[in-house]
Amino acid sequence: MFFATTSHPQLRRQTFASTNPALERFMGEALRATRNQPCAFEQDETSFSLCLDVPGITKDQLAISIEDSVVRISSKEGSARSYRAAYELPQEIDSSLSQAKLENGVLTLKLAKKIPVSNAAELEIQ
């Protein structure tokens, strides 16, 4: 038995036809979320520094949350533009010593590293 195969490369493209604006908005947000967001990252002994491009968003329209070593940045509801990103850093962040500055569409975060506290207890030998 002989099977013929074609050597034509298959072209793939993302297509969907919908008359549902909610579905179109969902698909657009999902596709935007998969793109790499431009981010400059630096660190020293005491802090991490992140610089992110967030054009068209004011400081009142941004929300930044820190939980352990994860930093989440998102635009608030009703903002002119949608922005959402999350970064997991190699060490926990001290949010009380961290700073955020937004200037000319560039968000600069200076995130203080949390100093690890030793919970080791000395055990007395009997």
Distance CA 115, CA 71 (A): 17
Do 97 and 114 form a contact (C-beta atoms < 8 A)?
no
Question: Among residues 90, 47, 91, 98, which one has the least CA distance to residue 73?
Answer: 98
4, containing H or E segment:
none
User: If you ran DSSP here, which 8-state letter would residue 32 be given?
Assistant: H
CATH number of 39-113: 2.60.40.790
> Model's pTM, two decimal places?
0.63
Please say if the pLDDT value at position 103 is more than 70: yes
Instruction: Give residue limits of the domains in the chain.
Output: 39-113
Please say if the pLDDT value at position 36 is more than 60: no
| Model pLDDT, residue 4 | 47
Do 83 and 74 form a contact (C-beta atoms < 8 A)?
yes
Copy the structure tokens of residue 60.
Answer: 């009142």
